[in-house]
Chain A
Amino acid sequence: QPTSMNAFELISMSRALDLGNLFEE
């Protein structure tokens, strides 16, 4: 439910903000 989330929780879902992806082979 997006309405129950705060805006920053939504924003933090961006793939660009998951730097763990840098370590993927």
Chain B
Amino acid sequence: CFDSRRRQSPRSCQHADLARLAHESRFSVNEVEALYELFKKLSCSIIDDGLIHKEELRLALFQAPYGENLFLDRVFDLFDEKKNGVIEFEEFIHALSVFHPYAPIEEKIDFAFRLYDLRQTGFIEPEEVREMVAAILKESDMILSDELLTMIIDKTFADADSDKDGKISKEEWMAYALKHPTLLKNMTLPYLKDVTTAFPSFIFNTEVED
């Protein structure tokens, strides 16, 4: 019931759908239903069709619907499992589940790897890291010389690329991320621990007993 283009109310969703999504994620049935309230809010902010478009994700994250951002593109692509240009509720739940405080660290590390493996080659390469650092500098209006940028990237690869083949494999990324847990701080959203009490306005609409 989540992937139709019709507007939906959580009450129109079958308990089996909520239960299935709860089963496929770290969330309880009530939490899935509470997250549906958040999803509805996000998915009607620009185009009221019950799907999150990139502009709507951008509006939620940047408070502005327009403007290119490499990281926004990557986050959107990872949420959009079906690669059809929109985020459906089911995809929203699957992706947010990785950000649950109780999700295994390996899942978080894997998600971050896929985020940074821009060209999906199975490796994070220096050109990709350079592109991402350039993007964050642009986003934050910081200016660094090419020389400094090269130094930062070289230092990072000296630390992360343990077999010195010039690229970071998933195994190397795993070891590197475990050594530098601050890199994963964005991968956990404490809000998700108990979304029904963190957002009391959502409770009104939850009616399924866990």
Contacts and interface: CB of A to CB of B under 8 A. Distances in A.
Contacts of A10: 133, 136-137, 152
Contacts of A13: 136, 140
B42 A9 contact: no
28 contacts: A2-B148, A3-B148, A3-B152, A6-B152, A6-B155, A6-B159, A6-B180, A7-B156, A8-B180, A10-B137, A11-B71, A11-B116, A11-B133, A11-B136, A12-B182, A13-B140, A14-B69, A16-B62, A16-B74, A17-B71, A17-B75, A18-B61, A19-B96, A20-B189, A20-B191, A21-B61, A22-B38, A23-B199
How many B residues touch the partner, as a band?
Answer: 35 or more
B61 A15 contact: yes
A4 B56 CA distance: 35
Contacts of A19: 61, 75, 96, 99, 186, 189
B160 to A, nearest CB: 8
Chain A contact residues: helix, strand, loop or mixed: helix
Contacts of A23: 38, 189, 191, 198-199
A12 B180 contact: no
Interface residues of A, number: 22
A5 B199 CA distance: 35
Interface of A: 2-3, 5-24
Nearest to A20: B189
A5 to B, nearest CB: 7
Interface in B32-74: 38, 42, 60-62, 69, 71-72, 74
B116 A14 contact: no
Given A15-B61, A19-B99, A19-B186, 15 more contacts: A6-B152, A6-B160, A7-B132, A8-B156, A10-B136, A10-B152, A11-B116, A12-B185, A13-B140, A17-B186, A19-B75, A19-B96, A23-B38, A23-B198, A24-B60
